Amino acid sequence: MKDLLTIHDLTTEEVEDILSLSAELKEKQKNRQMDCPLIGKTLGMFFEKPSTRTRVSFEVGIYQLGGQAIVLPVSDLQIGRGETIADTARVLSRYIDAIVIRTFEHKIAEEWAEHASIPIINGLTDMHHPCQALADIFTIKEKKGRLKGLKLVYIGDGNNVAHSLIEICAKTGIDISLACPKGYEPDKKIVKSAIEDAKKHGSRIEILSNLQKAAKDADVLYTDVWASMGQEKEHKKRLKIFKDYQLNKKLLKIASPDALVMHCLPAHRGEEITGEAMEGPNSVVFDQAENRLHTQKAVMLRLMAAL
């Protein structure tokens, strides 16, 4: 694997390898066992959308592995004045060892990957958020001790986070039920190819509009914002459309009593999730956020160590 653009590009074995390496790295970090496998390596960070978790966890992660990060603000690069991605990617490949990209259209990340000779890591596009899904599944495994046979219920918008979750559930044998308002279901092509993967691993993907039906016996309840970055103008309209798709106490009663409450964050309390669900005993949202650090360190090691 040269890049990490989507979960679909990974094999199940690669996902499992990242999960076990993440556990090892987390343990080492807890015991303050510092080795520096990425000494002398530089991670570039090209972000066209805001970020708290992705940006900080990658930056801290590369430092902990002995390397360094360099933030590449669009406004400071010649790309802001029209230099092409193809040229920029080739030039930066001569200085830097990997780049995390957060951008809008997924094909922009693909264009970087096509022209760069170094790994390109997708730190979120409009269609995918693979680093998030790896941390999510790692968190579920940590809390539940297994993945196969669990039921994850995703509530709300069929967006980038939902797409990567569908793909990772299909690869790891988790059943996923999505409850989305009509017209806001996940991308058909992504679902179709995930169904093929799911068949191989004995899991199911279902897309419903009835939230209560979807949430029955859930082992994990997962939600994300109703309006993603870039959809700010639709926020008001979406408030109405999504109003019944909330992760709250009522929904927790339908799920398994020990269901995990998950959210990729940032959260909008009172919209897709209640404050009560976020802060309640089932919530693992801050462990989930922490695990971004450990799983991304594993991703960097696998992509950058051999360079």
What positions carry a catalytic annotation? Answer: 102, 129, 132, 224, 264, 292
Residue of minimal Cβ distance to ligand NVA: 228
Near ligand CP by CB under 6 A, which window of 51-59, 69-77, 210-218, 247-255? 51-59
User: In sequence order, which residues have a C-beta less than 8 Å from that of residue 21 and are 6 or more positions away?
Assistant: 298, 301, 302
Distances (CA, A) of 269 to 72, 115, 258: 32, 41, 22
Near ligand NVA by CB under 6 A, which window of 90-98, 138-146, 174-182, 222-230? 222-230
At residue 16's C-alpha, the angle toward residues 12 and 21, to 5°, is 150
Q: How far is the CB of 6 from ligand CP (least distance, A)?
A: 15
Of the candidates 122, 228, 248, 274, which one interacts with ligand NVA according to CB under 6 A? 228
Q: Which residues pair with residue 238 across a beta bridge?
A: none
Binding residues with ligand CP: total (CB under 6 A) = 8
Q: How far is CA 87 from the centre of its chain?
A: 28
Residue 98 as a binder of ligand NVA (CB under 6 A): the answer is no
Query: Could you say which of ligand NVA, ligand CP, none residue 52 binds, taking C-beta under 5 to 8 angstroms by partner kind?
Result: ligand CP
Residue 265 as a binder of ligand CP (CB under 6 A): the answer is yes
Of the candidates 10, 166, 168, 225, which one interacts with ligand NVA according to CB under 6 A? 225
Residue 124 as a binder of ligand CP (CB under 6 A): the answer is yes
Of the candidates 110, 197, 219, 224, which one interacts with ligand NVA according to CB under 6 A? 224
Residue 160 as a binder of ligand NVA (CB under 6 A): the answer is yes
Q: How far is the CB of 157 from ligand NVA (least distance, A)?
A: 7
Q: For residues 263 and 165, what is the distance between their CA atoms, to the nearest angstrom?
A: 12
Longest dimension (CA), the chain: 55
Provide DSSP, 228-243. -TT-GGGHHHHHHHTT
Q: Which is nearer to ligand NVA, 5 or 116 (CB)?
A: 5
Q: Which is nearer to ligand CP, 34 or 56 (CB)?
A: 56
51-60 in b/e burial notation, b at 16+ Cβ within 10 A? bebbbebbbe
Q: For residues 79 and 30, what is the distance between their CA atoms, to the nearest angstrom?
A: 40
Q: How far is the CB of 55 from ligand CP (least distance, A)?
A: 6
Of the candidates 6, 22, 42, 54, which one interacts with ligand CP according to CB under 6 A? 54
Q: How far is the CB of 95 from ligand CP (least distance, A)?
A: 24
Residues that bind ligand CP (CB under 6 A): 51-54, 124, 132, 264-265
Residues that bind ligand NVA (CB under 6 A): 124, 159-161, 224-225, 228-229, 264
